[in-house]
């Protein structure tokens, strides 16, 4: 990729600060600096969005199309919506399907798949009492073979994240995963705050979709929600779509999260995102799309019908968050939580993956490595 300069924007957000009337310079696909501009051509330039929980998109569900080609289609669908780095997510499935997912991710990464930062295995080692939309017949405790499968594949998959419940995996297993370079996230669990603290001490460093499918915070039993908010070393995802979590609960969590860990946005997107699908399937069950929700026939929420950019808008327009903080929740914070180097920011040395947005946060263009997505010429 050759050197270049972005359009001049009225504002450029580098992940921490705003730069007025400025442009990005880039070379070799990396940001080299932010320079003053003359007349602004666009409203704002912000980092490409980072999503650590992407089950599908563009009509493709990863569980159903567990291949490098499936990952390419999912990455392309989300890239067109402003998300430039994803963890493809496999929802609870068989051991054989998990092996396929690990192989597919390794193959796609080896082939240089744009936007694929790694893999998120959400299950099958969960608490059946908090299974959510996961198929109960596939939920099971972690065995040594499961652990070895994950550890053996981790180095080939980019960033590897595993969501598990303390009820289905031991503290020792979590410690071994963490020591092997696999990030552990607690979720789909009814555990106590005290149990969660023990697993965080063993190496778990994240929690999956805060409030959803986990023990709630009571005044004498703070549960997993309370443990996550009170543990500074832990970050957590949040589905900000107006359906998964109430606005009040989201605002309270954002005010109450102890740092340096952060609450960050995830889409929990399914195949419907970026498509016209009205129905899809998961583990042989039909998921219905209506009114901005994805549900099973019994009304259980089954993933989310939202993109990261829509979640960002929701945080600004409905939760009334400052734009810079909402942007961090969709870019810098997830990148930091997963240790993804070079994404989620636009400082020197970062990947030149950025978006042009209008004043209403409408997407005007996506640049990957300094080149406009879909164009042959550098921006």
Q: What is the dihedral of CA 13, 19, 21, 23, to 10 degrees?
A: -60
How far is residue 120's CA from residue 125's CA, in Å, rounded to a whole number?
13
Residues 359 and 273: their CA atoms lie apart, in Å, by: 23
Judge whether 268 counts as a catalytic residue. yes
In sequence order, the 6+-apart residues with CB closer than 8 A to the CB of 375 are none
Single out the catalytic residue among 268, 353, 360, 375: 268
* Cα–Cα nearest to 325, from 259, 271, 254, 258: 254
If one counts every other C-beta atom within 10 angstroms of the C-beta of residue 364, the result is 14
Q: Which residues contact 184 (CB under 8 A, 6 or more apart)?
A: 161, 162, 164, 174, 177, 178, 199, 203, 204, 205, 206
| Residues with Cβ within 8 Å of residue 58, at least 6 apart in sequence | 73, 74, 76, 77, 78, 80, 271, 273, 274, 275
Q: 242 is written with which tokens?
A: 């107006």
Strand (E) or helix (H) holding 13: strand 9-13
Query: 3-class SS at 147?
Result: helix
CB–CB of 297/288 below 8 Å? yes
Residue 8 contacts residue 42 (beta carbons within 8 Å): yes
Roughly how many angstroms between the first and final C-alpha of the chain, as a whole number?
11
b/e per residue 87-96 (b: at least 16 CB within 10 A): bbbbbbbeee
48 with 373: CB under 8 angstroms?
no
The conformational region for residue 51 under phi > 0 = left, psi -120 to 50 = alpha, else beta, is: beta
Q: 58 with 269: CB under 8 angstroms?
A: no
H runs (alpha helix) in the chain: 68-79, 95-110, 144-154, 171-179, 193-202, 223-230, 247-256, 308-317, 323-330, 332-338
Active site residues: 268
């Amino acid at each position: 990729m050759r050197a270049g300069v972005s359009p001049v924007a009225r504002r450029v957000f580098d992940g921490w600060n705003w730069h007025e009337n400025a442009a990005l310079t880039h070379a070799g696909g990396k940001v080299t600096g932010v320079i003053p501009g003359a007349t602004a051509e666009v409203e704002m330039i912000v980092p490409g969005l980072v999503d650590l929980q992407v089950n599908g998109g563009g009509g493709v569900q990863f569980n159903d199309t567990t291949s490098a080609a499936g990952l390419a289609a999912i990455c392309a669908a989300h890239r067109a919506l402003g998300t430039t780095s994803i963890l493809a997510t496999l929802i609870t499935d068989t051991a054989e399907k998990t092996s396929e997912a690990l192989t597919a991710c390794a193959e796609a990464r080896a082939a240089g798949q744009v936007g694929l930062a790694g893999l998120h295995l959400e299950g099958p080692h969960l608490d059946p009492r908090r299974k959510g939309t996961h198929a109960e017949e596939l939920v099971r405790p972690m065995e040594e073979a499961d652990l070895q499968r994950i550890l053996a594949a981790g180095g080939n998959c980019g960033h590897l994240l595993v969501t598990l419940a303390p009820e289905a995996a031991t503290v020792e297993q979590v410690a071994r995963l963490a020591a092997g370079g696999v990030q552990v996230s607690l979720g789909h669990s009814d555990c106590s705050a005290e149990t969660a603290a023990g697993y965080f001490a063993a190496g778990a460093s994240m929690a999956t979709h805060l409030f959803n499918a986990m023990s709630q915070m009571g005044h004498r039993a703070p549960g997993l929600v309370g443990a996550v908010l009170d543990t500074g070393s832990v970050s957590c995802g949040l589905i900000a779509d107006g359906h998964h979590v109430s606005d009040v609960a989201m605002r309270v969590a954002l005010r109450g999260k102890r740092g340096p860990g952060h609450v960050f946005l995830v889409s929990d997107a399914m195949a419907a995102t970026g498509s016209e699908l009205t129905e899809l399937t998961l583990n042989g069950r039909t998921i219905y799309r209506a009114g901005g929700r994805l549900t099973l026939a019994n009304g259980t929420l089954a993933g989310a019908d939202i993109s990261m950019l829509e979640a960002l808008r929701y945080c600004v327009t409905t939760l009334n968050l400052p734009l810079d903080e909402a942007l961090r929740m969709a870019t810098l914070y997830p990148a930091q939580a997963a240790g993804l180097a070079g994404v989620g920011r636009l400082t020197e040395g970062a990947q030149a993956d950025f978006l042009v947005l209008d004043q209403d946060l409408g997407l005007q263009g996506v640049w990957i490595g300094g080149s406009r997505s879909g164009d042959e010429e550098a921006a």
